[in-house]
Structure 1
């Protein structure tokens, strides 16, 4: 089965949801023109990254006007859509990603588990990993810093993920680390991993882009540059079977010996 992924490497405008929605709409139009099946936006692309004391004010739940607008466009363009936003849920605020089906139905949201630096001042940490059954295979989501913890992708793979999507807001000087980590998470779990990283500067932080897709052999199918740009890439899910013939990483694990991994501080 072939899946066309579109990575929308954009520069969000801090606090300006309307401007960011307009930019997202343009990328969705471009993705539809390329007959993409799925579009992946960066982390917190709806609001920008350093929302700080305005985070709660800018947050929305699944019924929020911005989320519903993106859902309408997903239905219009017949495009599965994943994008980052500050989510208001059960009285808490999360750094989340929303997964919308190509018919505009909201399949669910994922709340970032590993919070970077000062994110914990403004966001609560998520508590569970999700994998969704879709027409394009089994999809898991991790957000930016989650990628740097091998356990995240491994749990998603054990839950049956075939494609792991990572909305990201990664900054210099971590260009090399991002590239290697996406390849590692793919090869060690024998899945496809795609990240869309934002660009632009907020405060003194420069976000570098270089969005990428790695196949289950750990090879880059795509490695982008540092410009605002959309990337269209086609992946073949039959590669999963080829990659998993040998070595059999998931089958050859020794989980009975790993208990102290979680016990160690």
Structure 2
């Protein structure tokens, strides 16, 4: 999806237009990229485009998506600027919304580049269960840069996530990382990965440099195989996945079962005392 900075109305309209295309092809779970409503490069305007999840009725984005979900009986994963009015902090926040309202949200923990100047950091790895009447599925959310942090995906998978979703505004200069890391997260966890990215470019309000996005949204199975990939601007990918593939792959290659969590925890705690990234 190509979003236009500061064009909330236009971006929302485009997102729902693409979602309708997917619904015509049978989609029940729809994923939109990082900061899809405001655009990514609105560094000076967080307040203007932020949604307060404690008062969702005041957010045009959340209300529009809720109405859409109620009309079409679907779930939508999105990612917006969140304002926490209790501490006056902004977050880069992914969320799931359905016909009955907000299912839950995830605040980005690992912030890229200048993002720490814009956003606070999240501190939790929640799991969300979606009910599709005749079956349920457990979802884990991460955002963009976090596709390169295997630890988050591992924690979510150990909690039961069968689908890992990454709303993103990932840079074109690191397309190689996007393609490799998304497949690795799927393979090592025996999970489906839905990696949904922005396309084209935007210009930073801070340094006026042009940021080119990697595009290449893709759906990846638990073996790390790419099932579908977007090839053009504003292309709506639709694919039917089979959840039993998760169990079959985890039985075939039991990384989660054989992981020594106690040993890994001790090693990480030891590293924490002495780790110096420089």
TM range (shorter): over 0.9
1:163 equivalent to 2:158? Answer no
1:51 equivalent to 2:42? Answer yes
Does structure 2 conserve the Cα–Cα contact (< 8 Å) formed by 1:72 and 1:104?
no
- Name the residue aligned to 2:26: 35
Matches within 5 A, 1:240-259: 240-258=246-264, 259=266
Does structure 1 conserve the Cα–Cα contact (< 8 Å) formed by 2:127 and 2:156?
yes
Does structure 2 conserve the Cα–Cα contact (< 8 Å) formed by 1:170 and 1:209?
yes
Cα offset, 1:226, TM superposition: 4.3
1:220 equivalent to 2:211? Answer no
- Name the residue aligned to 1:7: none
Cα offset, 1:30, TM superposition: 1.1
Hey, which bits of structure 1, 4+ residues long, moved more than 3 A? none
CA distance in 2, matches of 1:226, 1:206: 15
SS at match of 2:238: strand
Does structure 2 conserve the Cα–Cα contact (< 8 Å) formed by 1:213 and 1:222?
yes
- Name the residue aligned to 1:75: 70
For normalisation by structure 2, the TM-score amounts to 0.88
Cα offset, 1:33, TM superposition: 1.1
Indicate the structure (1 or 2) with the bigger Cα radius of gyration: 2
Structure 1 residue runs without a partner (length 5+): 1-9
CA distance in 2, matches of 1:238, 1:255: 25
Structure 2 residue runs without a partner (length 5+): 204-209
- Name the residue aligned to 2:91: 94
Structure (1 or 2) with the greater strand fraction: 1
Size of the aligned set, in residue pairs, is 255
Does structure 2 conserve the Cα–Cα contact (< 8 Å) formed by 1:201 and 1:207?
yes
CA distance in 2, matches of 1:251, 1:167: 28
Q: Greater RCO between the two (CA within 8 Å, min separation 6)?
A: 1
SS at match of 1:236: coil
241, 248, 251: which one aligns with 1:235: 241
For normalisation by structure 1, the TM-score amounts to 0.93
- Name the residue aligned to 1:15: 6
SS at match of 2:80: strand
